[in-house]
Amino acid sequence: MQQPEGFTSANSHLVCKLKKSIYGLKQAPRAWFSKLASSLISFGFKPTRCDTSLFVHATPKFITYILVYVDDIIITGSSTFAVQSVISKLHSLYPLKDLGTLHFFLGIEANYTTTGALLLSQSKYMIDLLAKVNMHNAKPIKTPLAPGSKLHMDGTNSFFDLTLFRSVVGALQYATITRLDIAYAVNKLCQFMHSPLESHWKATKRVLRYLNGTVDHGLAFYPSQHLFITGYSDSD
């Protein structure tokens, strides 16, 4: 520590005593995001309406995307030059570390296949989850939910560990980002968060056994010369 500018004292050895660091406070991420957002806006980026942490800079020649999660940032776009230009501008303002091609972000792994596809998976995240509940050696099963099975509010005893059930089901919710095949089963389990039964925990373990046999599955995005978007909706 050094004496702050403007502070005068006959004793040059007097310094400030740091009582609390702003980095650990709740308002720290908000303050940082506000500062970073103002910088990106000055570069010509605009936050999207659907997700304020996603910034877009579009010109007639190129389009650039920046996704921000606290101090983890993904930058991509149609022009390599534009992407590098943004990185250089950010580097001039902040101590930036360029990790190169995307491989890992918030528990999601990005792998590139020989066919040029981008595979998003959460293998490590699921392996850690299975180890947490001591099911990493559990026998795999082919479906996340038994065909025709229905979960009810009664019929079995209450599950003894509410925290464990909520923690595991909450973790499974995050896994549905790349594992849409378990979305229906996880949605059903989430309906019993307030008062889970032993039957609900048994159903949760079935989902975990299914993941143990499909831990490397994920979402594959293939490059295309033409982009056709088709939307579906209910009649209402």
CB 222 within 8 A of CB 115: yes
Span 182-201, mean pLDDT?
A: 93
- Residue 57's nearest CA partner among 39, 70, 69 is 39
d(CA 163, CA 167): 6
With cut-offs at 50, 70 and 90, classify the pLDDT of residue 149: confident
12 has pLDDT over 80: no
Q: What is the pTM of this model?
A: 0.74
Distance of CA 189 to the CA centre of its chain: 21
**Residue 24: what pLDDT?**
66
pLDDT in tens, 67-95: 999 888 999 999 999 999 999 999 999 88
Q: The tokens of 65 are what?
A: 């995307």
CB 77 within 8 A of CB 70: no
Q: Kindly report the CA angle at 91 between 86 and 97, in degrees rounded to 5?
A: 105
- Residue 90's nearest CA partner among 39, 41, 31 is 39
d(CA 109, CA 113): 13
Domains, the chain, with CATH or none = 22-100 (3.30.310), 121-218 (no CATH)
CB 210 within 8 A of CB 184: no
With cut-offs at 50, 70 and 90, classify the pLDDT of residue 132: very high
